């Protein structure tokens, strides 16, 4: 079949050879309805085929014998990290039986000089938890899939522009989103982006002994490449299955940094000094007709390098039929230990012996009313 890939990691998948490919099948009982459920992964190749992968997807999905000819619920087109055409699509529906069963058919295909590599995921009567596992395994199979002698690189090759960027920057993304409780709310999320003059970027800074290259090799989904030419910046980011999406937007210098599209970027700054002294708190709230969720996380720092972490989560759920509300809440186990600050890296070493590293950013080192820990905004608690 001309393709190379890793088998699904879960041992429950039964393997069988098929014409020009491999089939992996996982049968189990759906815990939600007690009926049989099946998940199938099909991997195959078409040596010598140089067709547009997007045109092959309907044929691949029809070959599953389910939801034949149905419209897709998702379609994505782009290129591989090697620069070859790539596409994937999904159909979702149900069987015309009594009782009916939910069906999902997803197909992905990409071109290489040697031909077409393709894969499918088929789910029949699969509950949410098993679907998450099946999709995770399918994603791993597809990420490892390649045709020819050389695996696909983790990232597209960076291409130098006439100018470059360097350093860690912070920017704000504001959106109106539908929350899980049925309401609509405005979200304002502070995000980080680390740029390298080579044309590589990452959506968090390297921590500890990491380099930007090692960070992106381990987690390519956090990274991408950019090419800056005057008033235009082109970016390429790796999405699901290793599909690369490209974008070209306006770039302009500003008094405090620069602007990419509609987002202003400002230089991120480390907190001054080797320690913090005080308490900082993160608050989250989401509410709507079906209830509300609130989350509080607090970190107490002392000047001699000690810390204490505490947290609280509360939820209220309202049944829209009978109007009855239920409330639940709980506190996070307290954690304490020693901390250290090195540039943008905040390291927690608990007294239980665990170590955790997070990013720590200040927008204004002279005013630590707000700091950003792993991208979340923590407000100083005034006592």
**278-380: CATH, from 1.10.3720, 2.40.128, 1.10.287, 1.10.3470:** 2.40.128
**H/E segment holding residue 212:** helix 212-218
Greatest Cα-to-Cα distance within the chain, rounded to the nearest angstrom: 71
pLDDT tens, residue by residue, 325-336: 788 888 999 999
| Predicted local distance difference test score (pLDDT) of residue 180 | 55
Angle at 193 between CA 190 and CA 196, to 5 degrees: 165
| pLDDT for 285 | 80
Check residue 32 and give its pLDDT.
Answer: 92
What confidence tens digit (pLDDT) does each residue in 205-251 have?
999 889 999 999 888 889 999 999 999 999 999 999 999 989 999 99
Domain 3-147 class in CATH: alpha beta
Q: What is the reported pLDDT for 10?
A: 92
Q: What is the Cα gyration radius of the chain?
A: 24
With 0-12 / 13-18 / 19 or more C-beta atoms within 10 angstroms meaning exposed / middle / buried, residue 39 is buried
pLDDT in tens, 25-68: 999 999 999 999 999 999 999 999 999 999 999 999 999 999 99
pLDDT of res. 67: 95
Say how far apart CA 41 and CA 10 lie, in whole Å. 12
Mean pLDDT taken over the chain = 90
Percent of the chain with pLDDT over 90: 72
- To 10 degrees, the CA torsion angle through 219, 297, 264, 267? -80
pTM: predicted TM-score of the whole model, two decimal places:
0.78
Q: Average pLDDT for residues 85-108, to the nearest whole number?
A: 93
The answer to whether residue 375 scores a pLDDT higher than 70 is: yes
Query: Burial, 30: exposed, middle or buried (Cβ in 10 Å; 0-12, 13-18, 19+)?
Result: middle
Distance CA 152, CA 173 (A): 32
């Amino acid at each position: 079949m001309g393709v190379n890939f890793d088998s699904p990691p879960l041992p429950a998948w039964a393997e069988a050879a098929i014409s020009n490919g491999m089939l992996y099948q996982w049968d189990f009982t759906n815990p939600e309805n007690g009926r049989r459920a099946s998940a199938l992964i099909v991997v195959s190749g078409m040596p010598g085929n140089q067709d547009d992968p997007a045109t092959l997807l309907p044929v691949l999905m029809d070959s599953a014998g389910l939801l034949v000819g149905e419209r897709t619920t998702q379609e994505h087109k782009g290129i591989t990290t090697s620069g070859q055409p790539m596409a994937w699509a999904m159909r979702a529906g149900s069987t015309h039986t009594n009782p009916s069963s939910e069906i999902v058919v997803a197909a992905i295909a990409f071109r290489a000089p040697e031909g077409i590599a393709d894969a499918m995921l088929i789910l029949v009567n699969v509950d949410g938890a098993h679907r998450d596992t099946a999709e995770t395994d399918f994603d791993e199979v597809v990420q490892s899939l390649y045709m020819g002698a050389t695996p696909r690189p983790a990232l597209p090759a960076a291409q130098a522009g006439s100018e470059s960027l360097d350093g860690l920057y912070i920017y704000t993304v504001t959106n109106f989103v539908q929350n899980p409780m049925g309401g609509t709310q405005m979200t304002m999320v502070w995000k980080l982006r680390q740029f390298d003059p080579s044309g590589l970027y990452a959506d968090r800074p390297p921590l500890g002994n990491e380099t930007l290259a090692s960070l992106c090799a381990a987690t390519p989904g956090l990274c991408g490449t950019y090419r800056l030419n005057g008033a235009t910046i082109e970016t390429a980011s790796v999405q699901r299955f290793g599909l690369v999406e490209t974008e070209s937007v306006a770039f302009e210098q500003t008094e405090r940094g620069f602007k990419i599209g509609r987002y202003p970027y400002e230089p991120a700054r480390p907190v001054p000094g080797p320690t913090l002294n005080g308490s900082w708190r993160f608050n989250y709230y989401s509410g709507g007709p079906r209830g509300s969720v609130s989350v509080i996380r607090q970190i107490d720092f002392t000047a001699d390098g000690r810390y204490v972490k505490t947290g609280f989560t509360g939820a209220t759920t309202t049944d829209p039929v009978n109007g009855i509300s239920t409330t639940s809440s709980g506190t996070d186990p307290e954690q304490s230990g020693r901390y250290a600050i090195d540039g943008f890296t905040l390291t927690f070493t608990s007294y239980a012996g665990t170590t955790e590293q997070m990013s720590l950013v200040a927008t204004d080192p002279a005013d630590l009313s707000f700091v950003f820990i792993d991208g979340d905004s923590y407000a100083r608690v005034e006592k």
